[in-house]
Amino acid sequence: MKLVVENLTVKLQSREILRDVTFKVESGEVVSLLGPNGSGKSTMLRTIFGILKPIKGVVLYDGKALNSISEASKVFGYLPQENPEIGLKVLDVVLLGRTPYLSGIKRAKKKDIEIALKALEDVGLKGFENRKFNELSGGEKQKVMIARVFAQEPKVMLLDEPTAHLDISAQIEILEIVRRKVRDGCSALIAMHDINLASSFSDKILMIKNGKIVYAGTPDEVISEETIRDVYDAEVIVKRHGSRVYVIPKRKTSENGVRVHIICGGGSGRDLIYMLSDRGYKISAGVLNVLDSDWETVVEVGGEVVSEAPFTEISDESHAKNLEMIEKADFVVLTNLSIGKGNLKNLYAAKYASKLRKLIVIEKTSFKSRNFVGVEAEKIYDEVVRGSIVVGSEKDAIRILDRERYANN
């Protein structure tokens, strides 16, 4: 029981919209089509359903080609992109999904009404049957349309951007509803715009560019900075959490020419690094152990790092380099980091910066609770604080940096 698409080529007004598209969708799979506007996603769905005729290639379900739209509508539940503005009752809209099963004079029988009501219940709109369609919210309308697809009892759902124009909770709900249906024994091919939603709800992703499938596979196989640059021509950061993938746009900020050195570690600098980098500050940090989460963040935003091998104490050599960086920097920030034997030298570095009058200290929790060295560190910290500006949050630190920066300009 699977959908097979082979060598599909579609021309519209002598322009090739799809070129040699081949893939398959197995039963129980959610497959997403990703690609920029005009890449051929809608054309693909319309051709599979049979509204457009390919000049080459075949669409087979269960090994058979479907020759007419009325045949196709029993196998495929196709949902076009735009919703109509109509005053029909919700039940009437959902009942239209029974059209393929009615013949002669079309009248809904008891069984059809039961199926339609069940479909409404499945999308969470029990009791909505007598409401008017055009009086519903965007999310509810979309759910009604999904219920129409369900009433069709499809084997494969072909959904064209079912989450467009919806808020995030409605988007998630719609995709949850679709997933649940797929679990009950059908499959779905969904054209999507949101890469993050696609990768968290799909089993497979097909990326289309100019009518060709250029990448195909599981979300973590397919989604990467390179593929997105290739398909969408966009610069993003791709983060992986287990098998999940998150895409974050890279902000194009112009550099403001101000250097900030950050003394951090263990994730205490992460938010600050992102915030500063977004604002165009040139960032350096140190000393950080390689693979420390702050180390990864600095590398990600393209800052300079004074590094130390994982799980080793800061060497004199690194410490010296760190001091050099501090000298070069316009400002230095000491984050709310914990101090142990391994990074005690960073506290000395902070003291150096405080002497140079360029230190801002972020103190969210008392130093005592973060000090794992003892009295020695306590004393140094007191000296550090004396020569610097102490703030309670990253935002305050940035406010001061911005203010100083404007003052200097």
Partner 1 sequence: MRFIAILAILNVISALVGLSVGSSNIGIYDVVKVLTGDSNENVKQIVLNCRLPRLLLAMLVGSSLATAGCSMQAFFRNPLADPYILGISSGACVGVALVIILEIATIQNIMISAFLMALITAFLVYKIGSLARFREQSYAILLAGIAISCFMNGLASILIYLASQSMHLVVFWIMGSFSNTTWNDVFFLAPVSILCILFIFLNSWNLNAILMGDEHAKAVGLDVERFQKELLAVVSLLTASAVAVSGIIGFVGIIIPHTMRLIVGESHQTLIPATILFGSAFMPLVDVIARTTTAGELPVGAITAMLGAPFFVYLLLRGL
Q: Which residues bind partner 1 (CB under 8 A)?
A: 49, 51, 68-74, 77-80, 82, 84, 86-89, 92-93, 96-97, 99-100, 102, 105-107, 132, 148, 152
Cβ proximity to partner 1: between 127 and 280 the closer is 127
Cβ proximity to partner 1: between 47 and 371 the closer is 47
3-class SS of residue 227: helix
Cβ proximity to partner 1: between 78 and 201 the closer is 78
Query: Please, are residues 273 and 292 in contact by the beta-carbon 8 Å criterion?
Result: no
In whole angstroms, the minimum distance from the beta carbon of 185 to partner 1 comes to 21
In whole angstroms, the minimum distance from the beta carbon of 91 to partner 1 comes to 9
In the sheet with 15-26, reading across from the earlier edge strand, the strands are 15-26, 2-12, 56-61, 64-65
Q: Which of 55, 23, 45, 8 is nearest to 217 (CA)?
A: 23
CA distance 248 to 241: 13
In whole angstroms, the minimum distance from the beta carbon of 206 to partner 1 comes to 21
In whole angstroms, the minimum distance from the beta carbon of 86 to partner 1 comes to 6
Query: Please, are residues 280 and 255 in contact by the beta-carbon 8 Å criterion?
Result: yes
Query: Please, are residues 158 and 76 in contact by the beta-carbon 8 Å criterion?
Result: yes
In whole angstroms, the minimum distance from the beta carbon of 84 to partner 1 comes to 5
In three-state form (DSSP H/G/I as H, E/B as E, the rest C), the secondary structure along 243-304 is CEEEEEECCCCCCCCCEEEEECCCCCCHHHHHHHHHCCCEEEEEEEECCCHHHHHHHHCCCE
CA distance 151 to 98: 6
Cβ proximity to partner 1: between 24 and 106 the closer is 106
Cβ proximity to partner 1: between 79 and 123 the closer is 79
In whole angstroms, the minimum distance from the beta carbon of 97 to partner 1 comes to 6
Cβ proximity to partner 1: between 62 and 135 the closer is 135
